[in-house]
């Protein structure tokens, strides 16, 4: 993307006014997407974005500037603007000569989406539409969308690091509206993976459409969700986002450093049920949050955050790591070259346990069985989190009975972690976009079927 000599000279300009560290992050992104709605392909869309950001760190202060002009003069101007923003006047750090470091991709992309004929992408949409409508006359609206993206990044810094990555992601989404006597209900399914067009070798548009349609149809008969505290069983995959919210964010070193996490100062302590082992792994092949290197050039790695209920470590990026004299854990991410990196999750999951998932339901006299979730939110300083259930059923006398309408679950992170009392031996993941400080990045979360002793369900039934 940029010549080595230009990168070196840009780093020198960045540190010319002082500073401890400088970095050039360059990115070249291409994307294509298409939406099918109401029987028509709305349009095929393509996008392209290319640029670089220069970061200068001095003491506690970071200066940042970016440019869409990757020429030496464009980069130089960004370097000077970042230097001015972090300006001090004192002499800067020495720049270590750049050494190229190869990064190992978690997954070899077999079919680059940009090489696939556009007509083939559009054809997938029609197939999904037909499959969803075939699920029943009550399915009135079907929206299907296809999206692929390729993101090539380059990181060079004053520590001598020079590394690159090529990230390819593909996602297919189907959303349905079903109409019945009790009104309208929606159902959605949107699996996403860090893979190329070979995605469709394993995920047929028809299957995704059927799941979405079935979800909308099942809710037509739903009764209001209960109100108050109930035991909650989370089906495999559905509840990973609960752990993402309940404790994942609170284990991000930037929030811990600001004293804005209930998990601050608790490494080595028991913070969860002994059944809980929580891992964040950016190198998990194919998963939506996977990559070879993070957006600061650190290789993705497997980080055990909670081991058998004991807090083992936080997630770190380069700047917070440097302050503590330790390495990044490969969790420094940014949405685009226009953003500063910060500590972010990748693929966050709870490890499997030993219980039979069906036994977990059988051994629950009364509770809520959550099959699909719609995302959540946490206040890391208080630990209080919410997440929305989009498909759930009552459990009565150990049996799954009636569907319930959408509702919010609310809980407190530390209390919820201690309340995990059964963990299954199955496993699945869920793809989503995680938002923090206005930046969205692709993440996945996962878990086996498990039970939480009690959570507050925000329904309207007494």
Partner 1 sequence: MSAGSARDLLEIARGVAAMAGPGEQVEAYVLRSSETDVKVFDGAVESLAVAEVDGVGVRLLLDQRQGYAWAGSLDPDVVAETVAEARDNAGFGSRDESLGLPDRADVDAVIAPELDLWREALLAVSAGEKVALALEVEAATRAADARVRGVESASYGDGAVEVAVASSLGIEATTRRTMCSVASFAMAGEGDETQTGYGFSVGRTFADLDVAAAARDAAERSTRLLGARQPASRRLPVILDPLVTRSLLGLLGAALSGEAVLKGRSMFVGRDGEEVAATNVTLVDDPTLVEAYGAATHDGEGVPTRRVDLILDGRLQGFLHNVYTARRSGARTTGSAVRGFKSTPAVGARALHLRPGPKSPDAILAAVPEALYVQSVSGLHSGTDPVSGDFSVGAEGLMVRDGELAEPVREITIASTLQRMLLDVVEVGNDLTWLPGGSAGVTLLLSDMTMSGV
- Residues 360-379 within binding reach of partner 1 (CB under 8 A): 373-377, 379
Nearer to partner 1, 285 or 386 (CB): 386
> Is the C-alpha dihedral spanning 391, 396, 397, 401 positive or negative?
negative
Provide the β-strand partners of residue 54: 24, 65
> In this structure, how many other beta carbons lie within 10 angstroms of the beta carbon of residue 225?
22
Is residue 75 a contact residue for partner 1 (CB under 8 A)? no
Is residue 51 a contact residue for partner 1 (CB under 8 A)? yes
Binding to partner 1 by CB under 8 A, coded x per residue (else -) over 239-258, reads ----------------x--x
Nearer to partner 1, 185 or 277 (CB): 185
Q: Which segment (190-198, 231-239, 383-391, 417-425) binds partner 1 by CB under 8 A? A: 383-391
H helix and E strand count, the chain: 10, 23
Q: Coil, strand or helix: which one is 73?
A: helix
Q: Which segment (57-65, 195-203, 292-300, 417-425) binds partner 1 by CB under 8 A? A: 57-65
CB of 34 to partner 1, least distance (A): 7
Instruction: Determine whether 228 is exposed, middle or buried from the number of CB atoms within 10 Å of its CB (0-12, 13-18, 19+).
Output: exposed
CB contact burial 128-155 (16+ within 10 A = b; e otherwise)? bbebbbebbebbebbbbbbbbbbbbbbb
Number of residues that bind partner 1 (CB under 8 A): 80
CB of 18 to partner 1, least distance (A): 14
Nearer to partner 1, 26 or 423 (CB): 26
**Residues in Cβ contact with 10 at an 8 Å cutoff, skipping those fewer than 6 apart:** 24, 54, 72, 75, 76, 78, 79
Helix axes 205-219, 118-133, angle to 10 degrees: 30
Is residue 4 a contact residue for partner 1 (CB under 8 A)? no
Distance CA 390, CA 118 (A): 33
- Residues 115-154, interacting with partner 1 (CB under 8 A): 118-119, 122, 140-141, 143
Binding to partner 1 by CB under 8 A, coded x per residue (else -) over 259-298, reads xx-x------------------------------------
CB of 166 to partner 1, least distance (A): 19
Length of the chain equals 462
Nearer to partner 1, 387 or 427 (CB): 387
Q: Which segment (146-154, 197-205, 268-276, 404-412) binds partner 1 by CB under 8 A? A: 404-412
Is residue 59 a contact residue for partner 1 (CB under 8 A)? yes
């Amino acid at each position: 993307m940029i010549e080595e000599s230009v990168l070196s000279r840009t780093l020198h300009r960045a540190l010319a006014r002082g500073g401890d560290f400088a970095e050039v992050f360059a990115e070249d992104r291409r994307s294509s997407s298409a939406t099918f709605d109401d029987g028509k392909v709305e349009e095929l869309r393509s996008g392209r974005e290319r640029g670089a950001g220069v970061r200068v760190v001095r003491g506690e202060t970071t200066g940042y500037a970016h440019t869409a002009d990757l020429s030496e003069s464009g980069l130089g101007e960004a370097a000077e603007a970042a230097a001015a923003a972090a300006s001090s006047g004192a002499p800067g750090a020495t720049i270590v000569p750049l050494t190229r470091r190869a990064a190992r991709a978690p997954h070899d992309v077999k079919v680059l989406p940009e090489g696939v004929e556009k007509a083939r992408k559009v054809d997938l949409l029609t197939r999904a539409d037909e499959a969803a409508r075939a699920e029943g006359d009550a399915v009135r609206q079907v929206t299907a969308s296809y999206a692929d993206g390729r993101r090539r990044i380059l990181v060079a810094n004053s520590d001598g690091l020079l590394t690159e990555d090529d990230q390819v992601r593909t996602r297919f989404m189907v959303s349905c509206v079903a109409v019945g006597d009790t009104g309208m209900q929606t159902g959605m399914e949107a699996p996403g993976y860090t893979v190329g067009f070979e995605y469709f070798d394993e995920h047929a548009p028809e299957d995704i459409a059927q799941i979405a349609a079935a979800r909308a149809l099942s809710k037509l008969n739903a009764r209001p969700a209960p109100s108050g505290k109930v035991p909650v069983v989370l089906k495999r995959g559905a509840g990973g986002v609960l752990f993402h919210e309940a404790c994942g964010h609170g284990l991000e070193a930037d929030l811990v450093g600001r004293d804005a996490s209930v998990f601050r100062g608790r490494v080595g302590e028991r913070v969860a049920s002994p059944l809980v082992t929580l891992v964040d792994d950016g190198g998990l092949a194919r998963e939506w949050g996977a990559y070879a290197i993070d957006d600061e050039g650190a290789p993705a790695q497997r980080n055990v955050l909670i081991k058998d209920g004991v807090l083992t470590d936080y997630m770190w990026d380069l700047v917070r790591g440097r302050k503590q004299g330790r390495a990044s854990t490969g969790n420094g991410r940014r949405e685009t070259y226009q953003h500063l990196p910060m500590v972010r999750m990748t693929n966050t999951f709870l490890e499997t346990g030993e219980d039979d998932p069906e036994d977990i339901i059988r051994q629950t006299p009364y509770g809520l069985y959550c099959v699909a979730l719609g995302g959540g939110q946490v206040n890391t300083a208080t630990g209080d989190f919410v997440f929305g259930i989009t498909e759930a059923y009552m459990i009565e006398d150990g049996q799954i009975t009636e569907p319930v309408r959408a509702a919010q679950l609310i809980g407190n992170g530390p209390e919820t972690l201690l309340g995990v009392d059964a963990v299954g031996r199955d496993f699945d993941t869920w793809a989503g976009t995680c938002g923090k400080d206005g930046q969205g990045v692709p993440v996945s979360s996962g878990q086996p079927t498990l039970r939480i002793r009690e959570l507050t369900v925000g329904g309207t039934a007494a």
